[in-house]
Amino acid sequence: MKTINHGQHHREVQLGSGSVHVFANDEVFASFGERVYEMAEHNLRIPRNVYFSYTPDAHVGIGTCIGTTAVWNMHDGFVSPSIVGSDIGCGMRVHMTPLHRDDLQDKNLKRKLIEAIEAYVPTSERGQTDFTDISIEEVVKHGLNGLPAAYLAKPTGEPGEVSRSLTHVEKHTFAFDHAALAHIPAKSWQRAWGQLGTLGGGNHFIEIQAIEIAEENREIATEWGLFDGQVVIMIHSGSRAWGATLGRDYTKSFKEAMFKWGIENPEPNLVYAPIETAEGQRYLNLMYSALNYAVTNRHLIGYSVERAFQDVLGKDFSTPVLYDLMHNYALQEYHRNTPMLIHRKGATKALPAGHFQNPKAYKKTGHPALIPGSMGTSSYIMVGADSGAKNFYSICHGAGRVRSRKATKEIVTIDQFERALRVGEDDEIMVNHRSLAAILDECPQAYKDVDQIIDSVVGAKLASVVAKCKPLIAIKGV
């Protein structure tokens, strides 16, 4: 295994089947285990790969590492459900508030907010919302455009203005051939309706955070409506069972197709097919339906959290969305004047100022790239750099796990978890669970040091920090 050091935290590791570009500082790079490169070797056996890379939060996943960017040309390339991941459309969303962190010092007030949010957003896997006036068919077909107008932020009245709910998102609707929905079983439709607007378990969360503006990007922060000490709401969730079922079903169907075609790979959970095959096209179409579900799910969580704030702080309280984006998907994008299918599995798009793929609202500055930390540590709001083109404008999607859930429960004690959350201190990070044992596998000790991850991204000149977000309240699902 030969490594070429390109400088600026960028190394190219040459393997038997091709090269994996790794963006990580020395400390993070040294922490990557052999299995990470073994998975890259197996992924690079997929024919005609254009580019393959790891962000610094890369760690072992099912079939493919989380933290992967993998690229094929549209005309002769491949699509892989394994490189998309099982939680299709999983991503981040941030809402702004007019509050300053000093306004949320009272623990009783924070407890009221936690209880109000849980009244609107189910946090158990069996919990269901009751959006009776929303058509799940319209949602999976049209994304945010499929919602009744009452759920979208009202325009301020400027001529030709569109709701901020539609303009300040990575994409508000993903077009696809709706005939593909005929392959969805009836039970999936019913389950999807009940889960719309729910958080889910694992690493998904709602956090109330206070931000610190990075001096070098203060002008951008002001342009976005951010200020020092501002309280923001960060949401992490995805397409729930709708996407998970698709991922599971199409992993099975792709395996069957690969067996029929005589294709083998040493990685048993890695599946793929040419884009233009019936299998490839059906998966892509249904994957887009899951992206529509995911962006709408996060939107409705944000809508519900705003209602909770209004219950506690007054009916006129407003939480405009800053941005919504995904980090598990495969999308056609234009790079090097060529249409390419960009797979990002646990990787976040971070476009610079002036890039044509930016939404209109962020054409001038580049869009916010939302990077969560681990529970109890800081998260970040970043903006892409021009030199991010070398990694197809992909950066990290979070801190990245350093140990499994099982290992975390065996190694980390409740006392250690409590100290990480500063339980009993004036600046305690308050959580919605009375017993931390229920969420011990999500403690900060289960993850890499997010500051090292951000240092790697900044040092690689893929993006820069606009704001650091320190948690005040953490709401987790189980």
Give DSSP secondary structure letters for 420-449. HTTTTSTT--EES-S-GGGGGGGSGGGB--
At residue 457, the pLDDT reads: 98
Q: What is the pLDDT of residues 184-234, one digit of tens each?
A: 988 888 888 889 999 998 889 999 999 999 999 999 999 999 999 999 999
At residue 338, the pLDDT reads: 95
Compute the radius of gyration of the chain from its Cα atoms. 21
Alpha helices in 44-185 (DSSP H): 81-84, 107-120, 136-142, 164-167
Residue 372 annotated as lining a ligand binding site: yes
In angstroms, the CA 291 to CA 246 distance is 12
Residue 174 annotated as lining a ligand binding site: no
Residue 374 annotated as lining a ligand binding site: yes
What positions carry a catalytic annotation? 397
Q: Residues 449-471: what's their mean pLDDT?
A: 97
Residue 433 annotated as lining a ligand binding site: no
At residue 295, the pLDDT reads: 98
Q: Residues 156-171: what's their mean pLDDT?
A: 86
pLDDT at 374 over 90: no
Tokens 């073994």 appear where? 38
From 3-12, 66-75, 130-139, 429-438, the region with the lowest mean pLDDT? 429-438
Query: Binning pLDDT at 50, 70 and 90, where does residue 3 land?
Result: very high
pLDDT at 359 over 90: yes
* Mean pLDDT (the chain, rounded): 94
In angstroms, the CA 205 to CA 444 distance is 14
In angstroms, the CA 62 to CA 206 distance is 25
Judge whether 335 and 69 are in contact, CB under 8 Å.
no
Query: Binning pLDDT at 50, 70 and 90, where does residue 161 land?
Result: confident
Query: Binning pLDDT at 50, 70 and 90, where does residue 156 land?
Result: confident
pLDDT at 247 over 90: no
Query: Binning pLDDT at 50, 70 and 90, where does residue 473 land?
Result: very high
- Residue ranges per domain, the chain? 2-402+447-476
Query: Binning pLDDT at 50, 70 and 90, where does residue 157 land?
Result: low
Model confidence, pTM? 0.96
Q: What is the pLDDT of residues 8-28, one digit of tens each?
A: 999 999 999 999 999 999 999
Alpha helices in 213-363 (DSSP H): 218-224, 240-261, 278-313
* CATH classification (class only), 2-402+447-476: alpha beta
Residue 168 annotated as lining a ligand binding site: no
Tokens 């999807």 appear where? 192
Q: Residues 352-370: what's their mean pLDDT?
A: 97
Cβ neighbours for 456, distance < 8 A, ≥ 6 positions apart: 9, 23, 24, 25, 28, 55, 56, 396
At residue 330, the pLDDT reads: 97
pLDDT at 159 over 80: no
Which helix H or strand E contains 62, and what residues bound it? none
At residue 201, the pLDDT reads: 87
Residue 397 annotated as lining a ligand binding site: yes
Q: Residues 38-64: what's their mean pLDDT?
A: 97
Residue 387 one-letter amino acid: S
Residue 313 CA to its chain's centroid (Å): 29
**CA distances (Å), 350 to each of 358, 394, 412, in order?**
9, 6, 34
Residue 369 annotated as lining a ligand binding site: no
Judge whether 214 and 464 are in contact, CB under 8 Å.
yes
Q: What is the pLDDT of residues 412-453, one digit of tens each?
A: 898 988 888 888 888 899 999 777 888 898 888 889 899 999
More confident residue, 93 or 154: 93
At residue 475, the pLDDT reads: 94
Judge whether 59 and 402 are in contact, CB under 8 Å.
yes
More confident residue, 379 or 400: 379
In angstroms, the CA 319 to CA 302 distance is 8
